[in-house]
Structure 1
């Protein structure tokens, strides 16, 4: 035996639902466990909840007629009263009762509205007739035609009057529209030639578009299609019976080309993505050469890496600066190491450094002798001045000696 707050299954497989009037038999279940039985009839209850919710929404948000709403409520009430579901059936009855009240209230509202509309309809239709008769004399073909069509829509939305009054007003209204249509047709007769010319132009554009559909000159052909589209728009409309067919052919030709281009570009993008992965691996291999301790070996290794790099194709444009920047960093480190090596081994630079060191050493030695002589003579002021000068020369000598060591001693 199994149960939940709204139902239970007894030992014989009979399913019950709990209601305000006591337990009601839902059905008999022999195909599975009691839990499966409850779950099955609970799903039926959920289905009723959904149906009632949808009907509530239709009543509140659509123009569902009172008759149809009552029929739908009756159908759902029969299902609820049949007790073939496990759940809070009393709550569903309450919702259906409230829905009945809402439908009746809306029915009365609509009845009052129809009465009010009937009173207003005559004045509204008389105003429409007066405006239509004025528009019948207009030369503003497009604006007046659109306004007349709008008046027809407005007329259709108004309630009917008594048959005689309604027929008389409609006759005047229709006559005004006919008079305008006759004058407009005379005006647009001369436009037929222009539409024929547009058809011929578009036939030519379609033929060119179809001839380009299999082109693989992607850039130039795409640009030409844009030009053809501009010419198409400038050509004006052809006759209605030709316009759609021409447009479908024109658009279809473009679709063939651009679909092929997209496929090629997608393949290219996939290839470039793979190229990027390979170049990132090479950049990582190059970065392992840093810091440079063996210039000759590093230079040879980088040359090999760079040859493999050049053999790889393009990478996505937005990723190019970063991955190339990594290689340039290693390349700059090699160049700086080569420049340092050149400075260290350049005979002329070494000779200049040695000469400068010798000059500074001689100047330091001379100043030391002059200082000793000044102190021996008791000239303390001159000795102190010379010592300050000696300190500056000694600093220059130390710097020069350090530079000379970089050349190998």
Structure 2
């Protein structure tokens, strides 16, 4: 008989393994020496140990699902319990028990992580809903519309909650967007009505202007044209394409009249040329206001130049378009500066930008704290996941801060 600390082979070739409960038959060996039999069954033991090593590594270093891990453990445990190997089978069983405990621990950790992620998602979606409901009352149509579209993208990036909660929050979110869309639609429908009313008023002004085009009653007609121009400015704007067409007819009729008057008063040509020179000098002053450094000063300067411009009087017709184009360019620059200043100082937009920046700063700090905690636990997988989330939040924070800088904040 040949023996080993963990097993033996009797004279008939029966192989036994020693356990705490006593010896157990693991096989029979007839093809070689007893030493070869023990070597064979020891290798089977080593094979089981290697399988456990590999499974242990998978459990600790991969995202192997707990259910799959437990199935694999039970499969190996069956082989250990059957005992067709020579070695410390109890030690293998203890390793499997420890591995089961590790899997259960990781299962609980995953469960806690999922619960935490759900809670964070619930909070984030509540914030999105509340912001959407605030935006639903906004009259900043473009900015609020853009922000609501951005909120939809953020919503899609968040994980789903339980069906009831998710549906309730989405209903509120969707309702807020619909309410804003209805208000915006009603607003622009009102604008369309105003533009139609402006079109009708301006059409009447055009018809009267065209009726006066052949008049030779120079003084009263010119006065009436000035009144028509004031009425035109007070009428509001029609749709752009209609506005341009009506304006062309309106100005065209006046051009016909003033051209005829200019022909009659040809002797005034010299005076008009002088007027042209005076307006060209004013244009130099007006264009010197650009680029605008001080909006208030520029507006006051332009207003004073406009008054002097109007006081100068007519210039030759062929010079008028170029002169007016240059003056209008300065006017457009001032209007654009006014719009930019309004946008820059808009407290509502600034408050939204500050609020979003604050939320993102808090989110970044929270993720950094979570990463530190995960590092202390040695949870590399958790660290990698949180660092990926942190990079995304930091990118959003950088964008938010850049937008806030445009408000001077």
Task: Give the TM bin, normalised by the shorter chain.
Answer: 0.3 to 0.5
If you compute each CA radius of gyration, which structure gives the higher value, 1 or 2?
A: 1
TM-score of the superposed pair, with normalisation by structure 1: 0.37
